[in-house]
Structure 1
Amino acid sequence: MSDEDRRDSLADQAAAWVPPWERPRPPAAEPDTADAASDITAPSPATDDLAAQPPVQEPVSAALPADLDRAEPDRAESDRAESDRAESDSAESDSAEPEPGEPVVGESSEAAGVPRRQAAGRRRVTAAPEPAPELSDTELRGALEAILLVVDEPVSELVLAQVLEQRAERVGPMLDEIAAGYTAAGHGFELRRAAGGWRLYTRPEYATYVERFVLDGQSVRLTQAALETLAVVAYKQPVTRSRISAIRGVNCDGVIRTLVTRGLVEECGTETDSGAFLYKTTTLFLEKLGLNTVDELPPLAPFLPDDVEELADATR
């Protein structure tokens, strides 16, 4: 066979060659002819070159069934719908208030038989305390007057506001208005501030009549020594007993004990240098004199004698 015939034969074989994955599967049988055996055992160079080339791969989408292509979008849509449904359920659970008897967050959910994960989505609902109703001016005036009639010591504006459950800003001006009304009406009593609070007192111009009724032959006045000692304590406080004795010129231990027993004087610490007890006046003292603070005590200058300096020099 010539070279030209051989080339034609190889071209025909290459054109007629079918890849193995496209060939129909032949029935299992042994070859009958020797030519078939020779073709298998001795392939031509052209067929070897073609066999060495990599097989042509078809796209994956072509190998997949058509039902699988349609299933993917359906699955994505179902997942998206499921996610939207879960978000809407969680929003409804957050906004919904717990029904009566249901445990809320902060309470023992497990003890009530509700899992912690379910109770976490619920919020505590607590009712705010209702503020006390605000009294009218007439009611507030009457309530204040009723309380002031029964108190045995001056009461502050803050205490009155707490008892009546009203704002302290209303109680102070109302007390001033009540006091001004009593004075304008000319009552035998008055409302005034004393010892840091408010209390009803009789007017000074009716003191003689009150003394007749209260005393009725009884002598409850302080002695001259007690009055002098009390005056020294009031103007010199805090002061020691030795200092009081030095000012008065006599021993005042017994008088101090009397004043402490009656509640007009009390101890207020010790002196740094000597360690002696210090004394001052009490709230009862201010209440009895109708004073708010000791700063309201009258000045001593008008009551001092003209030769006070000469007397002081003589005592030295």
Structure 2
Amino acid sequence: MAGDVSGPLPPLKTCLEAILMVVDEPVTDVVLAQVVERPKDEVAEALRELAEEYAAQGRGFELREVGIADGAHGSRGPGATGWRIYSRPECAPVVERFVRDGQQAKLTQAALETLAVVAYRQPVSRSKVSAIRGVNCDGVMRTLIARGLVEECGTEHETGALLYQTTGYFLERMGLKGLDELPDLAPLLPSAAEIEDENEA
């Protein structure tokens, strides 16, 4: 990881915030410490300070330390915890209204492309969807989940990453009885092996 970073990094808290904004699952302080190349205790203290700062400022989001599944994002055994940013509970009515009102809006091109990747490669992790599209898909995936078109369906054995699949509502909206009725576009999408080769290149 260190070889991928050139030049001086921003302040520790700034780096942690940037990472926490893109993770789709809670991430341990061990993994964060490895990424920012700082001592684990220093990272843990910075995370606690960030959580306190957000709470004191009354932000619309909060940083929480939550329990995570064994093997997910650097966890080690039962009782492992990780950090992730969540919207504040007090903001739930506004967030729910936004999601509900957004149900009537048309899907963006990015959302349609992401939905197609999930449909043809399911079950698939967010990272693989992002690899196929060539851009980060976290925000688009959250939109698809909120609209009931995509849902979680377990975890990847090797990495612990969450896997996603399309829903019954997706089939209903597409007018399909089953996934076998999808047009034959799968050969146009890169295989898992091709994605791995590109990531290693």
TM-score (norm 2): 0.42
- Report the structure, 1 or 2, having the larger strand content: 2
| Higher RCO, Cα 8 Å, sep 6+ | 2
